[in-house]
A and B are shown apart, each in its own frame.
Chain A
Amino acid sequence: MIVADLARPVLARRLRDEGLRVRTGPVVNRIQSRLPRVAQGIALHYAEYPVEEADGFADFHVNIVTPRGVRRWARPQVHFQFDGMRAFLPLPADQAFAMLEWGLNWCVSANCHQYLIVHAAAVERSGLAALLPGPPGSGKSTLCAALVNRGWRLLSDELALLDFASGFVVPLPRPVSLKNESIAVIRRFAADAVIGPIVQDTVKGSVAHMRAPPDSVQRAGQPARARWIVLPRYESGVGARLSPLGKARAFMCLADQAFNYDVHGRRGFEFLGDVVGGCDCFEFDYADLDAAVGAFDRLSRP
């Protein structure tokens, strides 16, 4: 069963009562919330995702709640609860769905130390993955959104999960978070892309989520070998320019962008060395998305 199989009132009731168990890649999230915004966001963005049985195992139990008291009416806020505890400072109520997304990212990055977790987008073509590490502002999500609208498979927008045993990237396809100007840029670039409502004034500016392509969600069980590491940098005026990057610098960049490199110690060092060793590494300056997708396509068909 997938989320789209549940009629809207059933979905809302399940979120309110026993919780909706949604599988995203390797993890099952049990999501509870009474908030209509959360139900709407889930109906829009998670339509294609598998729904798991109620008596199974859920990796993360999360709840988006409205606190009691006067704040409910004056500037209402929402809390993210993890395992029944508040995990962050509250946010304004109109950011409820964005908070769910950030909270689900946090669940993975703070807990899934069976992986090396890199703050990077990851896309796949022909079984080979490109990792796009990038601090906020590098344009990784914009580039990722463009690529997955032109035939690349979305493995992840935020968290690249590297599996120690296989060395592969384990897919965690979730909505792609677009910020500020990127929202309009992607609307123009891909008229078919499904983009949710824009939420203003978050810590990251204006934010909207783009639905993951259904094909990427259906193939979430298929890992891919890392083949390229590409450090994107949005640079106005250039079309799209790939330039080779030394492996040592690529290594340092991934280590720096990893959430749990320090947790893995020597094993993490050696593993990351192997991953970088098996990849061609580039810096990528781009401004034009068509040219950028062209450059990636040439990369995958040498």
Chain B
Amino acid sequence: MSRERIDPLLGLLRDPSAAARFQLADWDALIRSARRANLLPRVALDLDERGLTGLVPEAPRAHLEAARVLAAAQAAAVRREVAFIDRALADRGVPIVLLKGAAYLIAGLSAARGRMFSDVDILVPAETLADIEAKLMLHGWASAKTSAYDQRYYRRWMHELPPLKHHTRQTVLDVHHAILPTAARLKPDSAKLLAAAFPVPGEPRLRVLAPVDMVLHSATHLFCNEDVGNSLRDLVDLDSLLRELAVRQGFWEILAGRAAELDLARPLYYALRYARGVLDTPVPDTAIRAADAGRPPPWLRGLMDGLFLRTLHPRHADRALTSLARLSLYVRAHWLRMPPLLLAQHLAVKAFRREESVG
């Protein structure tokens, strides 16, 4: 993969000591692109950790300070929210598996450092969904999507309930029964994920995915999600998880096998390729070779390199080709998530609705 002149944000994510060489114009570009990628608090804490904050000129430093405050507030809010969810579902007797940001935070992983959150995600067995939704409603959560189409779309085709919003706190909770939509081409088995989940010290009812599964879910999220604007943040999640979890005994040996078992060989291939290529994540060659089972045909890989590297690259953020790449990935994500007829129908409804809201 070719690299252009190093962008300040990518440079700093790879190696925070790059900050020592920054000119004021680099700080200007950095603050802007980090803020846009939801990575400003992460950058602030990376610099703090290396004792480099003193190098930052005063004007950009104020933004780092603001971001640090915001991230601390968000982390506290997510902890509080998880405690509320835990309490609401306590007498269900079903362990609650936290996903993504909330899981990283509660498990004390470095991927949570300075991470921005928009909601809390949990995974529960499909057969308990109705019961869990009822319990949550008793405790003040209600469906945030009110149109009949949305309700049907989520309940029939998606891997989660329509997002639930708490009526006083206004927080959003996504209750998943799988990590990919029911209609998606790849079919990771939720029962396997739930069975392998890890306990969280000090939290009797909470679980997080097993380390390999956590990495695979992060990879899936990055490469099958339509939320293309957060791609770099997702890749940073993956980078942190790999750096921290891969030191465990046997991690790399079982990763590719587990990916095959969960039908996630392709997302894993892309995840390792781009994490290593974009963020210099240390991935052993043996692991790359093992993940080769998920390698796409060369024409597809070339296309994906073009699309992903463009959307991941902060420097390209506001160019026309990037919009096209983002749109392509958005459509691709939907393509992976549902069969063609359903996709056509869904995009038509969304397009039609946008017209309505503008008119």
Chain A complexes with chain B: yes
Query: Quick check: B73 and A58 within 8 Å, CB to CB?
Result: no
Contacts of A262 in B (CB 8 A): 73
Query: Quick check: B25 and A84 within 8 Å, CB to CB?
Result: no
If A84-B317, A84-B318, A263-B70 touch, does A111 touch B35 (CB 8 Å cutoff)?
Answer: yes
Query: Quick check: A112 and B66 within 8 Å, CB to CB?
Result: yes
Query: Chain A 54-90, CB within 8 Å of chain B: the 1/0 string?
Result: 0111110100000000000000000000011100000
Contacts of A264 in B (CB 8 A): 69, 73
Query: Quick check: B76 and A59 within 8 Å, CB to CB?
Result: no
Q: How far is the CB of B351 from the nearest CB of chain A, in Å?
A: 15
Which residues of chain B (58-76) have a CB below 8 Å from chain A? 59-60, 62-63, 65-67, 69-70, 72-73, 76
What are 23 pairs between A and B in contact, CB < 8 Å? A26-B62, A55-B25, A58-B28, A59-B31, A59-B59, A61-B32, A83-B33, A83-B36, A85-B36, A85-B318, A111-B35, A111-B63, A111-B66, A112-B62, A112-B66, A113-B67, A114-B62, A114-B65, A114-B69, A263-B70, A265-B72, A265-B73, A265-B76
Question: B68: nearest residue on chain A (CB-CB)?
Answer: A113
Query: Quick check: B70 and A57 within 8 Å, CB to CB?
Result: no
A85–B317 alpha-carbon span in the complex (Å): 9
Q: How far is the CB of A115 from the nearest CB of chain B, in Å?
A: 8
Question: B70: nearest residue on chain A (CB-CB)?
Answer: A113
Query: Chain B 44-65, CB within 8 Å of chain A: the 1/0 string?
Result: 0000000000000101101101
List of 4 A-B pairs having minimum Cβ-Cβ separation, nearest first:
A84-B318, A113-B66, A263-B73, A113-B69
Query: Quick check: B32 and A57 within 8 Å, CB to CB?
Result: no
Contacts of B57 in A (CB 8 A): 57
Chain B interface mostly helix, strand, loop or mixed? helix
The chain B residues found within 8 Å of chain A, CB to CB, are: 24-25, 27-28, 31-33, 35-36, 57, 59-60, 62-63, 65-67, 69-70, 72-73, 76, 317-318
Which residues of chain A (250-266) have a CB below 8 Å from chain B? 262-265
A298–B56 alpha-carbon span in the complex (Å): 45
Contacts of A55 in B (CB 8 A): 24-25
Which of A26, A56, A83, A265 is close to B24, meaning CB atoms less than 8 Å apart?
A: A56
A168–B192 alpha-carbon span in the complex (Å): 57
Query: Residue A118 at the B interface, CB < 8 A?
Result: no
Number of A residues near B (Cβ < 8 Å) is 19
Query: Residue A131 at the B interface, CB < 8 A?
Result: no
Q: How far is the CB of A296 from the nearest CB of chain B, in Å?
A: 32
Query: Quick check: A57 and B27 within 8 Å, CB to CB?
Result: yes
Query: Quick check: B62 and A84 within 8 Å, CB to CB?
Result: no
Q: How far is the CB of A216 from the nearest CB of chain B, in Å?
A: 22
Contacts of A111 in B (CB 8 A): 35, 63, 66
Which residues of chain A (238-274) have a CB below 8 Å from chain B? 262-265
Question: A26: nearest residue on chain B (CB-CB)?
Answer: B62
Which residues of chain A (23-53) have a CB below 8 Å from chain B? 26, 28
Query: Chain A 109-141, CB within 8 Å of chain B: the 1/0 string?
Result: 001111000000000000000000000000000
Query: Quick check: A57 and B24 within 8 Å, CB to CB?
Result: yes
Query: Quick check: A83 and B32 within 8 Å, CB to CB?
Result: yes
Contacts of B24 in A (CB 8 A): 55-57
Q: How far is the CB of B114 from the nearest CB of chain A, in Å?
A: 14
Which of B32, B33, B59 is close to A28, meaning CB atoms less than 8 Å apart?
A: B59
Question: B72: nearest residue on chain A (CB-CB)?
Answer: A265
Query: Quick check: B28 and A114 within 8 Å, CB to CB?
Result: no
Q: How far is the CB of B69 from the nearest CB of chain A, in Å?
A: 4
Interface centre among A28, A84, A114, A265, by most chain B C-beta atoms within 10 angstroms, is: A114
A66–B43 alpha-carbon span in the complex (Å): 34
Contacts of B317 in A (CB 8 A): 84
Interface centre among B36, B57, B66, by most chain A C-beta atoms within 10 angstroms, is: B66
Q: How far is the CB of A70 from the nearest CB of chain B, in Å?
A: 12
A232–B326 alpha-carbon span in the complex (Å): 49
Q: How far is the CB of A271 from the nearest CB of chain B, in Å?
A: 12
Contacts of B76 in A (CB 8 A): 265
Q: How far is the CB of A264 from the nearest CB of chain B, in Å?
A: 7
Q: How far is the CB of B115 from the nearest CB of chain A, in Å?
A: 16
If A28-B59, A57-B28, A263-B73 touch, does A114 touch B36 (CB 8 Å cutoff)?
Answer: no
